A and B are shown apart, each in its own frame.
Chain A
Amino acid sequence: MSPKRKISLTEEELVLALRNREKIAADALYDMYSSSLFGVISRIITDTAIAEDVLQETFIKIWNSFSSYSAEKGRLFTWMVNIARNLSIDKVRSKDFKNQSKNHELENNVTFIDEQRNTVYKPELLGVKDLVEKLKPEQKIILELVYFKGYTHVEVSEELGVPLGTVKTRLRMAIIELRKYFN
């Protein structure tokens, strides 16, 4: 997949090295996770330069607040991708970003995300073809909105005009499809 030599550690080794703040941990962290995190960030933030800034902020935050990660409560990637997603959403909703994007003053997040939506939904961004075929359209949309666009399930419910319970069910079904596919 990659022609360059990249450092790869097991998750346990990486977590230990990160706790000890070893240099190799920073290298491995970047090599192992930068593309997955950048995939999420660059779908929430379409401006490449800003997306790159957010990737950098994400790694800095991971590095500096690593003491707050606990392996008992979940996988490392889950913790990191939530940092990436939150920083991305903060950026998209920040005043700076709105000014940069030359958007009008927006009243609330939902309408803002509505406006964002014209850059939003591109099914071809879902990388794996047969996976796309396995997911039902409504599952794909929910995954896309929640995972790659940073919508909360409440916002998805309003966006798609479906009840909250339905959003939760569809999200669960979509993730079950992913589990079948990947496991």
Chain B
Amino acid sequence: MEDVKAYIETGILELYVLGELSQDEKSQVEEMASKHPQIKAEIAEIERSLEAYAAANAVEPPDQLRDRVLNSLLTTFADDSKFPSKEFFENDIDDEVDEVVTPHDNVVALPAVKSGSFYKYAFAACLVALIASIAAIYSLNERLNDSYGQIASLQSRNQSFANRVNLLDNEINIFHDPAFKLIKLQGTPKTPASQLTVAWNPVKKKVMIDMQAMKLAANDEAHQYQLWAIVNGKPVDLGVFDAKPDSTGMIEMNPVANAAAFAVTLEKRGGVPSPTMSQMVVIATI
């Protein structure tokens, strides 16, 4: 026991705690400590008092340093390359701290690896979630584009309905407008079954023909019907039109103010400057 006391009195244990001993001296102290509980207790006392001394001299670091430090630790959480810490031992050969405590790899390796793989799985899970999200966004985007297409086609159909309604409105207005005269052109002896209705507004000089009620033989590709007005005894060209079995609506022809008669002849496509009387199909005088 005297030996132990003398050993303690040399002050070597204080230097041990302060990390000031060489590797050999350290091993020696550790061996002594494992043999003599008194030495072990003495070391613990020295440690405790120096820890209290440091606490009594503590300096509070600035608040913002806490986040900085903790973030720098947490970024190493998922990083396998940061541990185990072998590189520290290689790089800091003269670092006394690493000599104070020799590594106990066998004890600690397992939990470290365990939690490392946890973060690997967490990372993998995040990756899967990311891919699923991208797929979901992609398919939603497809459907969104489909919807845009449908909206566009609905809008164009809506527009064509609106146009049609406008057109029909115009036709109804014509029939309701007292200024319009409805003139029924009757077939000539050559074409007794033919009929055509011309709506004429002498005030606005407007001339329309009713395609729906028209009874004219369908023309071929080389020919077209041509409408004429007889003004002051002379024929005036009011334009050409086609007669098809499925014609609908009304079409507007060239304007004319004074007309004594209306007539239609079958002419070559595009019309001619003056009517071919032998080809007259319908006529009406006012």
Contacts and interface: CB of A to CB of B under 8 A. Distances in A.
A is bound by B: yes
Interface of A: 2, 19-23, 26-27, 30, 34-40, 42-43, 52, 55-56, 59-61, 63-70, 73-75, 77-79, 81-83, 85-86, 90, 125-128, 131, 143, 146-148, 152-153, 168-169, 171-172, 175, 178-179, 181-183
Contact of A19 (B20, B72, B108): B108
A64 B115 contact: no
A131 B15 CA distance: 21
B1 interface: no
Interface string B1-36: 000000001111011011110000000001000000
A15 to B, nearest CB: 10
Contact of A83 (B10, B97, B105): B97
Contact of A67 (B10, B19, B112): B112
B112 to A, nearest CB: 6
Contacts of B107: 70
Contacts of A43: 57, 59
A32 B17 CA distance: 20
Contact of B111 (A21, A59, A85, A147): A21
The contact size tier of chain B is 35 or more
A21 B77 contact: yes
Nearest to A73: B101
Given A35-B61, A64-B85, A147-B18, A182 B53 contact: yes
Given A59-B69, A61-B88, A85 B61 contact: no
20 contacts: A19-B108, A21-B111, A23-B74, A35-B60, A59-B72, A60-B69, A64-B88, A65-B98, A67-B105, A68-B103, A74-B43, A74-B44, A75-B48, A79-B97, A82-B100, A168-B11, A175-B50, A182-B48, A182-B49, A182-B52
Contacts of A35: 55, 58-61
Given A19-B111, A68-B101, A82-B18, A56 B51 contact: no
A182 B46 CA distance: 11
A24 B187 CA distance: 104
B84 interface: yes
A21 B95 contact: no
Nearest to B77: A21
Interface in B57-95: 57-62, 65-66, 68-70, 72-74, 76-77, 82-85, 88-89, 95
A68 B101 CA distance: 6
Nearest to B29: A73
B20 A147 contact: no
A178 B60 contact: no
Interface string B105-120: 1011101101100000
Counting from the closest, the 10 A-B pairs by CB-CB distance are A168-B11, A65-B85, A35-B58, A182-B52, A82-B19, A67-B108, A172-B11, A178-B49, A179-B49, A68-B103
Given A43-B57, A55-B61, A172-B11, 12 more contacts: A20-B114, A35-B55, A35-B59, A40-B57, A43-B59, A56-B68, A67-B83, A68-B103, A70-B102, A73-B30, A74-B100, A82-B97
Given A39-B58, A147-B18, A21 B112 contact: yes
A77 B111 contact: no
Contacts of A69: 101
Nearest to A144: B57
A34 B50 contact: no
A78 B54 CA distance: 10
B225 to A, nearest CB: 91
A63 B71 CA distance: 12
Contacts of A70: 101-102, 104, 107
A146 to B, nearest CB: 6
Contacts of B112: 19, 21, 67
B104 A74 contact: no
B10 to A, nearest CB: 7
